[in-house]
Structure formats: C-alpha cells, structure tokens
Structure 1
Amino acid sequence: MEISSFLLPKDKVAYITSSFSMREAMDQLEQHHYTAIPIVDEEGKYVGTLSEGDLLWKLKNTPDLTFGNMEKVPVSEIQKHVHNESVLINAQMEDMLTLAADQNFVPVIEKGGIFLGIIRRKDIIEYYTRNITD
C-alpha cells in the first residue's frame, strides 16, 4: 500500500504560513480544534509545526507580551518544541508508520520540501482496526 492513500491533501488541511502572527496562529488552532498545526513558508515548503505549548511558552517567557499585543509577534520568532518530521510522498509505509507512532500527524512533502498535506495517526489506526483479521 502507498502512503498516498492516507494523505489528507493540503487543500483540506488547516495550516499557517511562517508570516502569520502569534494571534493569527492561535485563532487557527482554536477554529480547527487543533493542538498543533503545520507551518508552510512563502514558497509552499513545510518548515515545521507550531503547538499550543509553543504559544504558551512564548507568552510565559516574554515580558510585556499579552493577548492584546500578540499580533506583533510573527510565528517565525516563536521557538518550536515539537518537531513533526515529514515524509516524502513516495516513502515506504514503514517510514511513515515509524513517524506516526510518535506524532499525531505526519506532514507529507514532495521532492524539494513542498507541502502536500498530512497523514493523521487517527486515520492509520482506523484503517488497521477495520482491516485486522485473526
């Protein structure tokens, strides 16, 4: 089986760009009920994942930062504590499954790092649950 069969394509995935503000990122997390969200640069390349914890740590460790002025802080200035490693679209299932064991989602890229979408651990578990036979 190819990993592309598990792909939730970019046009169906909420993601942010590295130019988003901290406030915009928080709004996206809230709107989509995510605890982490992929970050894509201006060229469409996957550059990392921003988590709720990253936002909380930034707020805690930045004097004078409040909910009222978070729009002044770009996502690119927030230290990321979660590293969701990506996988190439033509990778082997074993590679993707290894990553999915430790990540809620696996970002999928094509050659050159272009973000194609994600594979959710939930979808993998549901697939194997439906298809396990004794």
Structure 2
Amino acid sequence: MNIAFFITPKEDVVYLTPNSTMRQALESMEHHRYTSIPLVDDDGSYIGTLTEGDLLWKLKNTPELNFQNTNRILLNQIERHVHNKPVYINANIEDLILTSINQNFVPVVDDRNAFIGIVKRSDIISYCYNLLSLSVEKV
C-alpha cells in the first residue's frame, strides 16, 4: 500500500511559518484543539513541529513574557524540544507506521523536503482497526 492513501494534503492542514507569532500559534492550536503544529518555511519546506510544551517552556523561561506580549515573539525564537521526523512520499508503509508510534502526525515531504501534507496517527489506527474487524468477521 502507498502512504499517499493516508495523506491529508497541505491545503487541508493547519501549519505555521517561522515568522508567525507565538500568539498566532497559541490561538491556532486552541481553536483547532491541536497539541502540535507543523512549521513550513516560505519556500514550502518542512522545518519542524511546534508543540504545546515548546510554548510552555518559552513562557516559563522568559520572565517578562505573558499572553499579552506573545505577539512579539516569532516562532523562530522558540526552541523546539521534539523533532517530528518526516517521511518521504515514496516511503513504505512500515516506515510510516514505525514513525507514527511516537508522533500524533507524520509530516510527508517530497525529495526536495517540500511539505506535502501529514498522516495522522488516528487515521492509521482506524485503518488497522477496520482491517482487524474484517478479519474477525471472516472467522
């Protein structure tokens, strides 16, 4: 099976750029109920994932920072503590599943590192559950 079957394409994914503000990240993550969000540069390349933890650590370690002035902090000023590994569009399904074990979503890139979209772990689990359900019904 090709991993393209699982992809949520870039145009349907909420992502931010390194020049987005901390406030934009907080509001976007709250609105969409995300715990992390992909970061894509101006050239369209995947550069990492921003997590709630990254935002909390920035807030904790910057004494003068509060919600009112988070619009002054750009995302490229926030240290990222977790590296969500992307997979290439031509990766095999085993690599996708192994990568998804420790990530809520897996970024998908092409051979130039251009961000294509994501594969959500929940979609992989649902697919596997449906396969198991079909196998049980046949028995």
> TM-score w.r.t. structure 2 length?
0.94
Amino acid at match of 1:103: Q
Counterpart-to-counterpart distance in 2, 1:5 and 1:85: 19
Please give the alpha-carbon distance, in whole angstroms, between the structure 2 residues aligned to 1:94 and 1:33.
28
Name 2:9's counterpart in structure 1.
9
What is the DSSP-based 3-state SS (H/G/I as helix, E as strand, rest coil) of the residue aligned with 1:90? coil
Match of 2:126 in 1: 126
Q: Please give the per-residue CA displacement for 1:74-132, whole angstroms capped at 9, x wherever unaligned.
A: 00010111211000001111111110011110000011110010000000000010012
Question: How many matched pairs?
Answer: 134
Any residues of structure 2 matched to 1:66-85 within 5 Å, and which?
Answer: 66-85=66-85
CA distance in 1, matches of 2:13, 2:67: 26
SS at 1:39's partner residue? strand
Q: How does 1:1-134 map to 2 (within 5 A)?
A: 1-132=1-132, 133-134=135-136
SS in structure 1 at match of 2:56: helix
1:126 and 1:65 map into 2 onto residues whose CA distance is 40
Q: Deviations for 1:32-56, whole angstroms, at most 9, x for unmatched residues? A: 1100000000101000000111101
Runs of 4+ in 1 over 3 A off after TM superposition: none
Query: Over alpha carbons, which structure has the higher Rg?
Result: 2
Q: CA-atom RMSD, angstroms?
A: 0.7
Structure 1 vs Structure 2: percent identity of aligned residues? 48
- Tell me the secondary structure at the aligned position of residue 112 of structure 1: coil
Cα separation, 1, equivalents of 2:2 and 2:48? 24
Offset at 1:31? 1.1
Gaps of 5+ in 1: none
